[in-house]
A and B are shown apart, each in its own frame.
Chain A
Amino acid sequence: MTEKNMPLWEVFIRSRTGLSHRHAGSLHAPDAEMALQNARDVYTRRGEGLSIWVVPSSAITASDPTDKDVMFEPTASKIYRHPTFYEVPDEVGHM
């Protein structure tokens, strides 16, 4: 099994209607159709899913961990961006 024939895929599962897909893990598969079937077999064995996305891992562009100060540090001092000063009515549900 080579990486060329069995590339890596990232799996996203939506657990129920209204929620967004969340990253569940990764797996190897020869192509998109088999990746979907493998995702079903590996990540939804206990009724976890209503919908599956699979994405080639190579299609993901990731931020550089050594870059994290520049990327994320500036937000630490801006607490006014958090909506913690509001009360969210129950009827709103998931935001």
Chain B
Amino acid sequence: MQTPLLTYTLRLADNALVLGHRLSEWCGHGPMLEEDLALANMALDCIGQARNFYTYAGEIEGKGRSEDDLAYLRDCDAFRNILLVERPRGDFAFTILRQFLYAAFMHPYFERLSASKDERLAAIAAKTVKEMAYHLRHSAEWVIRLGDGTEESAARLQEALADLWPFTGEMFEVDETERALIEAGVAFDPAGIRPLWLDTVDRVFADALISRPGDGWMQTGGRRGEHSEHLGHLLADLQFMQRAYPGSTW
């Protein structure tokens, strides 16, 4: 049985790792050299965040598992990331819009988490805030240019929005595990950031000449380990080397 703090830390770690992997899939496939590097930079930010959270999770667990053990040797149902980050990378509009929706939430979230009573979480969050600020800035500028760009870019962005929106609700979920940590001042209640997130989204969408869908059915389950089939394929890519050649290093 996992302690709430371990589950919570793994959720943060898994979000960062899975999104980082999705971003890294663009390496060598970016629409232009400049953006190829920008996506790889963001991928490395996310993977760096994941490493910090995994290292801490391993220490909380106290069974000697390293960051690599947690990243490479757990199966799908042990992952606690939200479904949003495991969606296949799609086209550039999809990847950029997902990054925007995620960063617009995670930036203020980490800002607040940097005041956590858990010093380790606070320290990792503080380090992460600046990275997320840049992800938000970069993705927001692209959302505006795609939406207010050509007929094709606007259509692709609108389509990506319809696909992604039902996955945004999970960011704001709070379960019993997290409720206890929020009350203890360790975690931060994500519901408190929703007005700010919507404000950011609406402001950027106004410049991008698109409007957000109404709040209908929202997908859920990732934080409990109930994932789409896409995560399995992602982990197959990510974990193959360590599974086939246990303990190999280079």
A38 adjacent to B31 (CB under 8 Å): no
Chain B residue, CB-CB nearest to A39? B34
Query: Is the pair B141, A34 in contact by a Cβ cutoff of 8 Å?
Result: yes
Q: Is the interface of B mostly helix, strand, loop or mixed?
A: helix
B134 neighbours in A (Cβ, 8 Å)? 40
CB-based contact A6/B138 at 8 Å: no
Check if A42 sits within 8 Å of B34, measured CB to CB: yes
Q: A1-B32, A28-B32 are in contact. Are A37 and B41 (CB under 8 A)?
A: no
Q: Given the complex, which residues of B lie within 8 Å of A37, measured CB to CB? A: 38, 137-138, 141
Within 8 A of B (CB), among A1-59: 1, 6, 27-31, 33-34, 37-38, 40-42, 45
Q: Report how many residues on chain B are interfacial, defined by Cβ distance under 8 Å.
A: 14
Contact B145 A41 (CB under 8 A): no
| Interfacial chain A residues near B138, Cβ < 8 Å | 37, 41
Known contacts A33-B141, A37-B138, A37-B141; is A28 also within 8 Å of B41 by CB? no
Q: Contacts of B32 on A, CB cut-off 8 Å?
A: 1, 6, 28
For A34, give the chain B residue with the smallest CB separation.
B141
* B145 and A42 contact, CB distance less than 8 A: no
Contact yes or no, B34 A38, CB < 8 A: yes
Q: Does B181 contact A (CB under 8 A)?
A: no
Q: How far is the CA of A40 from the CA of B145 in the complex (A)?
A: 19
CB neighbours (8 Å) of A34 from chain B are 141-142, 145
Interface residues of B in 13-67 (CB under 8 A from A): 31-35, 37-38, 41
Q: Which residues of chain B are within 8 angstroms of A45 by Cβ–Cβ distance?
A: 37, 41
Chain B hits for A33, CB < 8 A: 141
Which residues from B are CB-within-8-Å of A42? 33-34, 37
A28–B141 CA distance with the chains assembled, in angstroms: 15
Query: Nearest CB to that of B145 among chain A residues?
Result: A30
Please indicate the chain B residues that have their CB under 8 angstroms from the CB of A31 in the complex: 145
With both beta carbons as reference points, the residue of chain B lying nearest to A29 in the complex is identified as B34
Residues of B within 8 A of A1 (CB): 31-32
A38 CA to B77 CA, complexed, in Å: 38
A27 is contacted by which of B34, B141, B142 (Cβ under 8 Å)?
Answer: B34
A-B contact pairs, 11 of them (CB 8 A): A1-B31, A6-B32, A27-B34, A28-B34, A29-B34, A33-B141, A34-B145, A37-B137, A38-B38, A40-B134, A41-B138
Given A28-B33, A45-B37, A45-B41, 10 more pairs with CB closer than 8 A:
A1-B31, A6-B32, A28-B32, A29-B34, A31-B145, A37-B137, A38-B35, A40-B134, A41-B34, A42-B37
Q: Which residues of B contact A (CB under 8 A)?
A: 31-35, 37-38, 41, 134, 137-138, 141-142, 145
Which residues does A use to contact B, with CB under 8 Å?
Answer: 1, 6, 27-31, 33-34, 37-38, 40-42, 45
